[in-house]
Structure 1
Amino acid sequence: MTTLSVVIPAYNEEDGIAAIVERVLAIEPELPKYGVDALECIVVDDGSRDRTAEIVRRYVPRVRLIQQPNKGYGGALKTGFQAASGELLGFLDADSTYPPEYFPQMCRVALDGADLVIGSRMAGATSEMPLVRRIGNFIFANLLSLVAGVRISDSASGQRVIRREVLPILYPLPDTLDFTPAMSTRALHENLRMVEVPIPYKERSGRSKLSVVRDGLRFFKSIVWTALTYNPVRIFGGIGALLLLLSMLVMVLAFGLQAFGIDSVVSFPRLFGALVLAVAGVTLYTTGTSFSYIVALFHKRPIRQGMFGPRGNGRKIEKHYWWLGILAVLLGVALYVAAVAFDLTNPALQVSWFAPVVSALMVLTGVQLVSAWSLARVLAELSAREGLAARDLTGNSVSDVAANAESVRTAAVS
């Protein structure tokens, strides 16, 4: 027997709570057609100071009412999930902006194998979302698609259906309004099957509790910080790659202006700025790869591919750090020796500082690369240790854990 438990978080919703409760209860006859046998409706009154709880009591026992001090949107949902008995957990807002009539369809998708079904307000259905929030949702959806490597259209939708057994994988989640983008980010990085179902969206009457600036910044931080706990190289690597691109653009600008006669000589300040950007880019990328091995050690799974190639496949640039680092050090030393030999460090020259500075930056970059390679190798060995020890003790073929660990080690040292 399959039960859908619908959780409705409510905070000062006396004007709309009755309408949404009645609409949720009205879907019960439709659910068996989609493979769901029973409906459980739970309203979590999150410290309301109006008549919300009083109105909900009229629907008891068809509706379960839970009252608690104000814990926030996410806190109310988690309370509802703890009390729910259904194999499928659904939720939506109390202001009738989301259509509970789409729950049967979403349940069918979940029963067909999806772990998380999201009612997408941005996937083509009629939407009354204000332009500012539509732009914000577009930005956050694309940010999540970028950091997770999977296309998603609505990262913050407040209508979802979750299979109960994946809830421990999704936790921990915040108590605040960024509950939904954090859930989306974690689900994608945990390789859960997430499916979007287009739904219509109706703007609430009255003032929204969502602050575009404050909650927008909270959503941004939630997506980025959650992604960092799974795939740091995608964040650091993206910023690092951007800095390297800027470095090349500044370099092209410096030589281009001289080639077209706009500057009589190549601008050394521009060249120096380009070098600093390049060093910063390399530093950020190597930091990201090092963090990725630490994350892999914590999660006990193979590391994720960085900015290039599919996740878990392809060649990883970090295994080349050692020779790239040594090459950078040798080139830096050679540059300084050549500068001294050709008297380019003569204090009488206007740019006598340039060659030593470039040499120092190259040496430091080389040291950074070799250090990052060494750290990746050590962390890879630690990741492989438990599985390989189990193989040696049992004498059997390598277990799944050992195989995963071995793939981590091989990625760093081969």
Structure 2
Amino acid sequence: MFDNLSDKLDKAFHILKGHGKITDVNVADTLKEVRRALLDADVNFKIAKDFTTRVKEKAIGENVLTTLQPGQLMVKIVKDELTELMGGDAAGINLSGNPTVILMSGLQGSGKTTFSGKLANFLKTKKNKKPLLVACDIYRPAAINQLHVVGGQIGVEVYSEPENKNPVEIAQNAIKHAKANGFNVVIVDTAGRLAVDEQMMNEIANVHKAIEPHETLFVVDAMTGQDAVNTAKAFNDRLNFDGVILTKLDGDTRGGAAISIKSVVNKPIKFIGTGEKMEAIDVFYPNRMADRILGMGDVVSLVERAQEQYDEEEARKLQKKIAKNEFGFDDFLAQIQQIKKMGNMKDLVGMIPGAGKALKDVEIEDDAFKHIEAIIQSMTPIERSKPSLIDVKRKNRIAKGSGTKIEQVNQLMKQFDQMSKMMKMMQGGGGKNMMKAMAGMKGGMPKM
């Protein structure tokens, strides 16, 4: 996400390279490029102009510290202003009420039904809630079935009345059902259209008035750029919603909607969708997003995702195995499964400072581990637990069984051996020995 914008901002900051101080001249050249980068990212012209004006006011006359170059100072000012433009602080979701009623709104194709499921899964797994999904899209024949499929995937009940063509009644009946059956969150998925029209607006306004939701969320496809912002304004004028959800942000290389939407509707972005899986939902943190736009990564989110998958008991068992030199391919496979649960690979790499820029032109597939998994799964249980048994004959059999080449099996064996040595040294706290091991690795750190 934001690849194009990140590249162009990086080039803009290069104008200040070699200068000892920020002046009227060099700041004007830099900000001209910053404004152009924002416009190319589909940010509204007035927002881009106001943004660069604020940055200029803060930058002019700033004395550059000896440890800070003008380009670095400009990056900091732009980061602070971007954070403010996108909302400043993260906005939480209102979960008051018993049950909490959440109304989902948006155009058809914005990912509303899928995100209703993602939100239900988020509240169930992260907030320990018992959600109920409600199918109130009475026009799209597949919408009710889609919500039932989504509910089945995450183990959340779906309330629907396929024969009823009154969305207000369906929503009200669903809330009664929730109260009677111990559900503490009700997520109402409403109908969308291909464009904003009066009938749709009246209908969702009637549902809104009848059920008085604690939280009204507007779901918008980030890839539609400035159109997304205009649609959000039309909905907000009628519904006065509480927050925005940006879907398909992982496919948006521009980022205009994420940057502009808060200042146009004055409502926070609460969540973002970053992939197709039900777990691909993140709370929107403006400061972390500003870091990512400026190529600084997002280590905090990466650590949080890792902690979610961290199992203390499993970690203790793994430590014992490493100490006894019993770390095998089954353990390695378990580690891969944990990494996969953290999200898609491209998104994870983008969170590592500098990695997104370094691997800009490298295509990172979501199934980056499939060859490794296939090789390990083609081993016998004894081979997985005692890799030293794997000779040339066994390697040939494993390569055939996994549909890979003998070179790939050899590469995995070599990297596994290097990683085992490193883990053993880390376990013993031998810092010098570990550095020696890393230096001795031909080709550097193990590749994926």
The answer to whether TM tops 0.5 is no
Query: Which band: TM-score by shorter chain?
Result: under 0.3
* The structure with more radius of gyration: 1
Which structure is higher in RCO with an 8 Å CA cutoff and minimum separation 6?
2
Q: TM-score, normalised by structure 2?
A: 0.25
